[in-house]
Amino acid sequence: GMLGGVPTVLLHLYNGIVLGAFAAIFFRDPLPLAFLAWILPHGIPELTAITLCAAAGLCLGGAVAVPGRQGRRRALRDAVNPALLLFAGSLPLFALAALAESFVRESTLGTAARLGIAAVFAAGLAAALLAVRRFSRRVPVDAAWLGELIAPVRAGSPGSGSAPRP
């Protein structure tokens, strides 16, 4: 958060480049199912967890980089709860990814079984995300902060760079 989210974006980009490079190598094979069966069972929960952690970091980074009129301390205080929720949501996904990497990725299971496990993980993740979306729509959202953030700056107000008009 202290560097405005820049390292978060760079690390996420780097992770995507490395994964894309591996995919480019393995997708030269006419049937890349072996690669998909190797990467997807642990990749689905792990990459989702990493993305949730990146989003948490960006919540904090946004509070530092663009605190609005409320100031950095207040913006960080307001950003902590959503960031912690995102981080907490990543923990079971990291645990699931660790189990998949330990017991599925290097196992003697066939390609179809590994892809089946990946499909179950993807379906479970989709169901969980839909449930969170449905729940979040029931909770009222306070968007008053947005009006404060984009409210026009009056001449002579602190930070406007101009003197008050006579």
What angle, rounded to 10 degrees, do the helices at 72-100 and 33-65 form? 170
The answer to whether position 110 is within a domain reads yes
Q: Which domain holds residue 134?
A: 6-19+33-139
Average the pLDDT over 27-50 and give the result. Answer: 91
The answer to whether position 80 is within a domain reads yes
The answer to whether position 100 is within a domain reads yes
Q: Both tokens of residue 99?
A: 């189990």
Give dist(CA 93, CA 56) in Å, integer.
15
Q: Both tokens of residue 63?
A: 């509070």
Contact 40, 118 (CB under 8 A): yes
15 band by pLDDT with thresholds 50, 70 and 90: very high
The answer to whether position 69 is within a domain reads yes
Q: What is the pLDDT of residues 75-103, one digit of tens each?
A: 989 999 889 999 999 999 999 999 999 99
Q: Cα 137 from chain centroid?
A: 19
- Give SS3 for 59: helix
The answer to whether position 24 is within a domain reads no
Share of the chain above pLDDT 90, in %: 46
Measure Cα distances from 115 to 24, 59, 62, 105, 123 in Å: 19, 34, 38, 11, 12
30 band by pLDDT with thresholds 50, 70 and 90: confident
Neighbours of 67 (CB within 10 A): 17
The answer to whether position 45 is within a domain reads yes
Number of separate domains in the chain:
1
Measure Cα distances from 1 to 79, 85, 101 in Å: 10, 16, 30
pTM: 0.76
> Is 90 exceeded by the pLDDT of residue 124?
yes
State the burial class of residue 56 (Cβ atoms within 10 Å of its Cβ: 0-12, 13-18, 19+).
Answer: buried
The answer to whether position 146 is within a domain reads no
The answer to whether position 42 is within a domain reads yes
Q: What is the pLDDT of residues 130-149, one digit of tens each?
A: 988 888 777 676 666 556 66
> Is 60 exceeded by the pLDDT of residue 68?
yes
